[in-house]
Chain A
Amino acid sequence: MVGGLRIFTDRVGDGAGQPVLDVNNGEGLMHVQPGVSIVLGNRASESPGTLYISTKQVVWLSDTDRTKGYAVDFLSVSLHAVSRDPEAYTSPCIYTQIETGSEDNESEGSDSECNGTLDLSKINEMRLVPSDPNLLDTLFEIFCECAELNPEPIEEEEEVHNWIFSADQMEDQTLEGEDSGWDTSLNPTNSIGFSNGDHDLTRTVLELQIDDQRFEDAEEMESDSNSTHQ
């Protein structure tokens, strides 16, 4: 899944119908709204088109140009709102901000077209203008529902975090018997900073004995003549 807006041209049937959804992975259609114009960034409004809201993404397909369509995942919609302020935009619409994932926000809108071709990855504002403004509240609510269906994915089972709150807690940790001599074996549990895998970092730190002879000051050589500096 690419962050941000993308071209969407996958239509059912002979190309006249609805967008192809990832049904095998549970994507379903939530709402269809004909008579919706789309405004990308600072560009002119594009119409006529139909809005398809699925459980995973927002798709807008042109009614007249079967090769024209745009989609964005709900994961990338940072915020959405009903905009009725004529100073913000001439027509009442659903206003959305899109997270493009790029750090560079300086070029929003202005560089979205280069040599005439549209760079969708730079678009971070999108408006959806229904022909009937009374539909806006319903569309807003559907956007809310779908956003709630798309929380941030959890990468893996959350590990139990071993937070340390006080020095007392560290003394409670059970230590394996370890001598403080040099350990020349490649034993990962004795390696400082070896935190890959399931090592308990707390224990690793504790095994680093403070009175380890490795931390003794270097012995000064008697023959060094410290007094002569040149």
Chain B
Amino acid sequence: MLFFSYFKDLVGREVTVELKNDLAIRGTLHSVDQYLNIKLENTRVVDQDNYPHMLSVRNCFIRGSVVRYVQLPPDGVDIELLHDATRREARGG
């Protein structure tokens, strides 16, 4: 549940979601669920050459299982905190 909690804290921030099919979508994180399905608002496609039809969609729901990366705002990341939290999570503690 670590990343679920982590992403919940990022709601309202700008993120870029890169999918496994290489599409990258930028938008405001609206919500996230336990499966890491992501809802974005005010989305726009980062790479317009490959998916020009998408352009700007207002709201977008992205299935968690197709996400490759979520690019975070630099000031939204406390690296030490994440390190400790992931180690604890992996140990089951």
Residues B21 and A78 in contact, CB atoms below 8 Å apart: yes
The listed residue (B21, B35, B57, B91) touching A88 by CB distance below 8 A is: B57
A26 to chain B, nearest CB (A): 19
Q: In the complex where A81-B57, A148-B37, A151-B35 touch, is A163 in contact with B91 (Cβ < 8 A)?
A: yes
Select the stretch in A139-147, A178-186, A215-223 that faces chain B.
A139-147
Chain B 29-45 residues near chain A, CB threshold 8 A: 33, 35, 37, 39, 43
Between B35, B54, B87, the greatest number of chain A beta carbons within 10 A of the residue's beta carbon is seen for B54
**Nearest neighbor of B63 in chain A, beta-carbon distance:** A78
Per-residue interface assignment for chain B, residues 42 to 58, with 1 indicating a CB less than 8 Å from any chain A CB and 0 otherwise: 01000000001111111
Residues A81 and B61 in contact, CB atoms below 8 Å apart: yes
Per-residue interface assignment for chain B, residues 8 to 22, with 1 indicating a CB less than 8 Å from any chain A CB and 0 otherwise: 000000000001011
Q: In the complex where A78-B63, A163-B90 touch, is A148 in contact with B19 (Cβ < 8 A)?
A: no
Query: A97 CA to B19 CA in the complex, in Å?
Result: 11
Between A81, A88, A143, A161, the greatest number of chain B beta carbons within 10 A of the residue's beta carbon is seen for A81
Q: What are 6 pairs between A and B in contact, CB < 8 Å?
A: A80-B60, A81-B43, A81-B60, A125-B53, A151-B35, A151-B65
Residues of chain B lying within 8 A (CB to CB) of residue A79: 19, 25, 60-63, 66
The listed residue (B23, B33, B66, B92) touching A148 by CB distance below 8 A is: B33
Residues B91 and A105 in contact, CB atoms below 8 Å apart: no
User: How many interface residues does B have (CB within 8 Å)?
Assistant: 29
Answer yes or no: B5 CB below 8 A from chain A CBs.
no
Residues of chain B lying within 8 A (CB to CB) of residue A198: none
Not counting A78-B66, A84-B57, a sample of 13 additional A-B residue pairs whose C-beta atoms are within 8 angstroms of each other reads: A79-B25, A79-B61, A79-B63, A79-B66, A81-B59, A82-B57, A83-B57, A85-B57, A88-B52, A99-B21, A148-B35, A151-B65, A165-B87
Answer yes or no: A89 CB below 8 A from chain B CBs.
yes
Query: A77 CA to B37 CA in the complex, in Å?
Result: 12
Answer yes or no: A172 CB below 8 A from chain B CBs.
no
Residues A152 and B35 in contact, CB atoms below 8 Å apart: yes
**Nearest neighbor of B40 in chain A, beta-carbon distance:** A81
Residues A105 and B87 in contact, CB atoms below 8 Å apart: no
Residues of chain B lying within 8 A (CB to CB) of residue A84: 57-58
The listed residue (B21, B37, B54) touching A95 by CB distance below 8 A is: B54
A103 to chain B, nearest CB (A): 10
**Nearest neighbor of A80 in chain B, beta-carbon distance:** B61
Residues of chain B lying within 8 A (CB to CB) of residue A144: 39, 61
Residues of chain B lying within 8 A (CB to CB) of residue A157: none
**Nearest neighbor of A78 in chain B, beta-carbon distance:** B66
Answer yes or no: A132 CB below 8 A from chain B CBs.
no
The listed residue (A99, A160, A165) touching B66 by CB distance below 8 A is: A99
Residues of chain B lying within 8 A (CB to CB) of residue A83: 54, 57
Residues of chain B lying within 8 A (CB to CB) of residue A81: 43, 54, 57-61
A181 to chain B, nearest CB (A): 36
